[in-house]
C-alpha cells in the first residue's frame, strides 16, 4: 500500500491493474491540469474510460487548492492527472479512501497509504510528460488505444520536453500517426509563411511580428516569392530557402539562437488533417487562458463542434497579442537602472500580459538581467507579470512577494518569471514600492 518498487513500467502495470479492479464498482472523477500536457492527459483518459464503459466525469483545474481536495466526493475514485504530486500531505489528511495519481512533478512527502501513484520521480526520474504516462497507463487498460499516442506527443511538446526524448517517449513516437521533421520552429509549419511569420512570437521577430510589410520584406530578402498568390509553408521549404530565412530572422533578433529556431517539427493527425503540434498546444493554452478549458478538451477529443470554437478563441488570442505588442511598443514606460515597467492599464488584455512580458524578455532591445514588468487591469484588479531577461540576475518572485506582503494580493511563479494580482486601488503604491525594491536590489547586486 503506497509502496513504490521497481521500474516505471512495473509501477504503471501495477497501478493500472488496481485501478481497473476498483473502477468496476465505483464511479471515477478525473481531475487534470489546464495546460496542454494536462488536457492531453485528460483527453486520452476520457477516450479510454469511454471505450471501457467506465462511468466517469472530468474536471480541468488551474491549480489544486487544499479546499478542492477537502470537498472531493468520498464515494468516488479520484484520479489526478498532471498534478497532485505536490499535494500528497493534503490528500493524506483528507477523508479520501482511494486516490490515483499519474503525474511527473516533484513529490512533496512520502506516498500516503490512500494513494496509488505513477510518477517517474519515484522510478529512475525518466523524462516523460504526464500525457505520455497516461498513454502507457491507458494502453494497459485497453491495448487498442494506439491512435491516442499522438496526444501523448502533443503533451510532450506542450511541456517542451521534446529536446531530449527518453526511452519510453521514443516508444510512443513509434505508435501513433505522428510525423517528425527537422525544420524551422515557427508554427504552424503547415500554413503559408506570410501568415505564420505575422504571428510569430517564439521567437519574436522585431519589425516582422505583427507587421505585414515587414513580413513581405523578410520573405523577399530570403528569396521567397508567392507562387500563384501563395507562399510556401515551413514544411515545403528546401534547405537553402530555410537557411536564408533563418539568417533573416537572426539578423532581426540576434538573441534568437539557432538551436532554438531549428528543431523537430511534430505533425499529428487531428480531425483527419495533419497539424503542427506546437500550434495545437498554443490553441489549447489560449482556450484555457480564456477560461475555456472544456473547449480545449473537446478539441483534443476531436468533438466536431469544438474545432470552430477553439479556432475562434485562438484567433482572438493572437489578435490580442499582436495589438498588445503594438500598444506596448508605443506605450510610455517607466525606466530605471536594470528595469522597465509598462503599465498598460486597460489597453492590454490580462490574458496575454504575461506572454507579452516573456516576448519582450527575448527582444534584442533589453540587456541580460533587466527586469521587465507588465501590468494590466481586469475587473477591479491588476495583473502583473515580471520577467528577468536571459533568466539571469535577481529573483523576481521574491521582489513581488515583498511588495504583495505590504499591499495585499497573490503571488505565483518562480525565480525568473513571476506574477501577482492586486487591487486596483493599490496601483500607485505598488508601482512606487516596485521601483524602490528594484533600485535597492540593484545596489545589492
Q: How far is CA 30 from CA 81, 295, 401, in A?
A: 7, 16, 33
Count residues near Mn ion (CB under 5 A).
4
Which member of 36, 48, 85, 130 binds Mn ion (CB under 5 A)? 130
Closer to Mn ion at the Cβ: 129 or 209? 129
Closer to Mn ion at the Cβ: 159 or 275? 159
Closer to Mn ion at the Cβ: 130 or 386? 130
> Closest distance between Mn ion and the C-beta of residue 52, in Å?
24
| Site for Mn ion contains 41 (CB under 5 A) | no
Those residues whose C-beta lies under 8 Å from the C-beta of residue 271, and which sit 6 or more positions away, are 302, 304, 307
Window of 126-134, 251-259, 328-336, 394-402 that interacts with Mn ion by CB under 5 A: 126-134
> Closest distance between Mn ion and the C-beta of residue 230, in Å?
37
Those residues whose C-beta lies under 8 Å from the C-beta of residue 180, and which sit 6 or more positions away, are 173, 264, 265, 266, 267
Window of 140-148, 155-163, 276-284, 389-397 that interacts with Mn ion by CB under 5 A: 155-163
Rounded-to-integer distance, Cα 85 and Cα 105, Å:
6
In sequence order, what are the beta bridge partners of 360?
none
Rounded-to-integer distance, Cα 292 and Cα 60, Å:
10
Closer to Mn ion at the Cβ: 154 or 185? 154
Window of 30-38, 204-212, 251-259, 385-393 that interacts with Mn ion by CB under 5 A: 30-38
Q: Exposure of 330 by Cβ count < 10 A (0-12 exposed, 13-18 middle, 19+ buried)?
A: exposed
Window of 31-39, 252-260, 301-309, 357-365 that interacts with Mn ion by CB under 5 A: 31-39
> Closest distance between Mn ion and the C-beta of residue 83, in Å?
8
What is the residue whose three cell numbers read 502507457?
A: 136
Q: How far is CA 443 from CA 46, 336, 367, 371, 439, in A?
A: 54, 12, 17, 14, 6
In sequence order, what are the beta bridge partners of 101?
80, 117
> Closest distance between Mn ion and the C-beta of residue 103, in Å?
8
* Contacts of Mn ion in 51-80 (CB under 5 A): none
Which member of 159, 275, 279, 441 binds Mn ion (CB under 5 A)? 159
Dihedral sign (CA 282, 131, 39, 422): negative
Closer to Mn ion at the Cβ: 19 or 34? 34
Angle CA(357)–CA(403)–CA(426) in degrees, nearest 5?
A: 85
For residue 228, what is its C-alpha cell? 500563384
Q: How far apart are the first and last CA of the chain?
A: 50
In sequence order, what are the beta bridge partners of 334?
341
Window of 29-37, 113-121, 224-232, 337-345 that interacts with Mn ion by CB under 5 A: 29-37
- Rg of the chain taking only CA atoms, in angstroms: 23
Window of 32-40, 218-226, 305-313, 368-376 that interacts with Mn ion by CB under 5 A: 32-40
Closer to Mn ion at the Cβ: 152 or 184? 152
Task: Tell which residue, 394, 439, 401, has the closest CA to residue 420.
Answer: 401
> Closest distance between Mn ion and the C-beta of residue 335, in Å?
37
Closer to Mn ion at the Cβ: 127 or 381? 127
* Contacts of Mn ion in 170-209 (CB under 5 A): none
Closer to Mn ion at the Cβ: 130 or 253? 130
| Inter-residue contact 33 to 21 (CB < 8 Å) | no
For residue 46, what is its C-alpha cell? 476520457
Window of 3-11, 122-130, 204-212, 309-317 that interacts with Mn ion by CB under 5 A: 122-130
* Contacts of Mn ion in 78-97 (CB under 5 A): 82
Task: Tell which residue, 256, 263, 292, 297, has the closest CA to residue 280.
Answer: 297
Closer to Mn ion at the Cβ: 106 or 346? 106
**Per-residue contact string for residues 266-305; x = within reach of Mn ion by CB under 5 A:** ----------------------------------------
Closer to Mn ion at the Cβ: 130 or 363? 130
Which member of 37, 211, 276, 441 binds Mn ion (CB under 5 A)? 37
Rounded-to-integer distance, Cα 37 and Cα 70, Å:
25
> Closest distance between Mn ion and the C-beta of residue 14, in Å?
22
| Inter-residue contact 356 to 325 (CB < 8 Å) | yes
* Contacts of Mn ion in 309-368 (CB under 5 A): none
Closer to Mn ion at the Cβ: 128 or 237? 128
Interface residues with Mn ion (CB under 5 A)? 37, 82, 130, 159
Amino acid at each position: 500500500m503506497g509502496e513504490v518498487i521497481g521500474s516505471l513500467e512495473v509501477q504503471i502495470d501495477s497501478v493500472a491493474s488496481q485501478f481497473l479492479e476498483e473502477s468496476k464498482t465505483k464511479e471515477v472523477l478525473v481531475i487534470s491540469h489546464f495546460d496542454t500536457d494536462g488536457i492531453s492527459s485528460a483527453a486520452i483518459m476520457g477516450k479510454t474510460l469511454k471505450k471501457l464503459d467506465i462511468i466517469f466525469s472530468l474536471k480541468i483545474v488551474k491549480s489544486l487548492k487544499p479546499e478542492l481536495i477537502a470537498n472531493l466526493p468520498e464515494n468516488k475514485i479520484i484520479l489526478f492527472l498532471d498534478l497532485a504530486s505536490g499535494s500528497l500531505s493534503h490528500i493524506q489528511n483528507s477523508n479520501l479512501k482511494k486516490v490515483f495519481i499519474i503525474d511527473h512533478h516533484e513529490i512533496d512527502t512520502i506516498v500516503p497509504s490512500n494513494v496509488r501513484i505513477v510518477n517517474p520521480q519515484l522510478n529512475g526520474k525518466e523524462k516523460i510528460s504526464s500525457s505520455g504516462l497516461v498513454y502507457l497507463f491507458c494502453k494497459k487498460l485497453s491495448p487498442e488505444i494506439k491512435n491516442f499516442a499522438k496526444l501523448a506527443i502533443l503533451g510532450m511538446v506542450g511541456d517542451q520536453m521534446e529536446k531530449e526524448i527518453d526511452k519510453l517517449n521514443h516508444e510512443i513516437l513509434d505508435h501513433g500517426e505522428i510525423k517528425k521533421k527537422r525544420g524551422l520552429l515557427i508554427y504552424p509549419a503547415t500554413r503559408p509563411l506570410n501568415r505564420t511569420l505575422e504571428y510569430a512570437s517564439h521567437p519574436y521577430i522585431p519589425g516582422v511580428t505583427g507587421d505585414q510589410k515587414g513580413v513581405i520584406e523578410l520573405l523577399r530578402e530570403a528569396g521567397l516569392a508567392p507562387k500563384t498568390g501563395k507562399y510556401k509553408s515551413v514544411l515545403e521549404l528546401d534547405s537553402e530557402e530555410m537557411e536564408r530565412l533563418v539568417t533573416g530572422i537572426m539578423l532581426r533578433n540576434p538573441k534568437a539562437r539557432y538551436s532554438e529556431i531549428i528543431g523537430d517539427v511534430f505533425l499529428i493527425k487531428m480531425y483527419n488533417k495533419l497539424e503542427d503540434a506546437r500550434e495545437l498546444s498554443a490553441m489549447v493554452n489560449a482556450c484555457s487562458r480564456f477560461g475555456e478549458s472544456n473547449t480545449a478538451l473537446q478539441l483534443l477529443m476531436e468533438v466536431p463542434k469544438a474545432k470552430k470554437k477553439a479556432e475562434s478563441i485562438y484567433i482572438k488570442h493572437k489578435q490580442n497579442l499582436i495589438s498588445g505588442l503594438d500598444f506596448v511598443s508605443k506605450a510610455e514606460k517607466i525606466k530605471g537602472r536594470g528595469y522597465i515597467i509598462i503599465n498598460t492599464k486597460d489597453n492590454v488584455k490580462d490574458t496575454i500580459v504575461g506572454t507579452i512580458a516573456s516576448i519582450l524578455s527575448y527582444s534584442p532591445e533589453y540587456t541580460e538581467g533587466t527586469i521587465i514588468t507588465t501590468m494590466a487591469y481586469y475587473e477591479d484588479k491588476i495583473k502583473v507579470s515580471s520577467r528577468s531577461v536571459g533568466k539571469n540576475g535577481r529573483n523576481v518572485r521574491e521582489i513581488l512577494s515583498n511588495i504583495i506582503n505590504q499591499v495585499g494580493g497573490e503571488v505565483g511563479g518562480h525565480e525568473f518569471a513571476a506574477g501577482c494580482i492586486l487591487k486596483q486601488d493599490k496601483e500607485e503604491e505598488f508601482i512606487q514600492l516596485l521601483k524602490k525594491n528594484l533600485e535597492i536590489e540593484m545596489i545589492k547586486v
